[in-house]
Amino acid sequence: MPNVQPSVDAFLGELKTIEKAFDKDLSKLAAKLKTASDTEIINAARQLNLLRELMDAGLVDALDGFDKEYTKMLSAAISEAKKRGIPAFAGASIEGMEVLRDLNYERLLGQFGGYAKELEIGLFRGVYANQSISTITTQLGKTGLISSQLKVIAYDGLKIFDDMARYKAFQGQDVKWVYKGPDDKVTREDCQETLNGEKNKGEGYTEKEVNNSRTPFGIRGGFNCRHSWQIR
């Protein structure tokens, strides 16, 4: 079963490195603004674009690297179809997968944009209120680049893309599907039902049965789901 977690962990590791360096730059900027007049602070705040600064600090490279993982997932689905003698994407367009990848990219970018805006607000508020540098940096540090929501978005984006790539590559073909993943005490009810159904059937699900189940393609068990639909 494809494991997207290492790719996600590598991406998050890069973000940690970027955040550490960026925090130092923010401290320097705060110290510089502390010596400015109110008018200068206001003008600087109007021109400040921390998302752009964040992109220049390495976020572009991190995003591009993570984007390549989507290409790998798509290539793997196509290769699997070819090995089985099935014309991959005979019933679908690869362009649709590219759109899904781009939407996931934009969603991540939106998270980073929100992070940057929170920093801009905190920085201006702190300097304009004449707070100490230590207070400003401490408050800014509470706005973490890697939130729980970001982790879920990164994981789900890649995991669901992998699932969708496989589905679209085999869409309309005479194949059976099996639901792969853990069966333990934290398995969700919907996933448990599908896993139990697989055990009872013993022959896999048809495409129609998957989409009529409680764990259809593109959703599975919901956010942060550990399961995947695989070809039997």
**201 pLDDT band (50/70/90 cuts)?**
low
- Please say which residue of 173, 194, 223 terminates a domain: 173
- Please say which residue of 173, 195, 212 terminates a domain: 173
45 in the same domain as 30: yes
Q: Is the pLDDT of residue 1 over 60?
A: no
123 in the same domain as 99: yes
**Which residue segment(s) compose the domain that 214 sits in?**
175-232
139-171: pLDDT as tens digits: 999 999 999 999 999 999 999 999 999 999 999
197 in the same domain as 168: no
Q: What is the per-residue pLDDT for 93?
A: 77
207 in the same domain as 101: no
89 in the same domain as 52: yes
87 in the same domain as 164: yes
- Please say which residue of 144, 173, 202 terminates a domain: 173
Cα gap 48→19, rounded to integer Å: 18
4-62: pLDDT as tens digits: 999 999 999 999 999 999 999 999 999 999 999 999 999 999 999 999 999 999 999 99
Q: What is the per-residue pLDDT for 91?
A: 65
Q: What is the per-residue pLDDT for 203?
A: 84
pTM, to two decimals: 0.90
138 in the same domain as 25: yes
